[in-house]
Amino acid sequence: KAGVTQTPRYLIKTRGQQVTLSCSPISGHRSVSWYQQTPGQGLQFLFEYFSETQRNKGNFPGRFSGRQFSNSRSEMNVSTLELGDSALYLCASSLGPEAETQYFGPGTRLLVL
């Protein structure tokens, strides 16, 4: 069974640009969560989608948005990039919000110059 895949794996952008990251969950998983990992703030929850609906949202500005498609694939978008958005963005999937195990993807490493 294929694991969680994230594309692209690495990305370099400049301030002010926007970026879209993609996450394909494990087959059969309907819940997708996104996390941002930085050396300073650690791992922070961005948002969670289940059955195409956003169930939970972390404390991030409106520049961060996401969506989930009918096949459970998810995208997150960051508009008007700032230097502080440089981070490892991790996606995790699970069968549902109450599942005990989330499976993480390898992450997308974003560098904003």
Chain positions contacting another protein, by CB under 8 A: 31, 33, 35, 42-45, 48, 50, 55-56, 58, 88, 90, 92, 94, 97-107, 109
Q: In angstroms, give the least distance from the CB of 88 to another protein.
A: 6
d(CA 47, CA 32): 8
Whichever of 70 and 98 has its CB closer to another protein, that residue is 98
Nearest approach in angstroms of CB 89 to another protein is 11
Residue 100 Cβ vs another protein, minimum distance, rounded to whole Å: 4
b (16+ CB within 10 A) / e for 64-96 = bbbebeeebbbbbebeebeeebbbebbbbbbbe
**Measuring CA to CA, which residue among 90, 88, 79, 95 is closest to residue 111?**
88
Residue placing its CB nearer to another protein in the complex, 11 or 88: 88
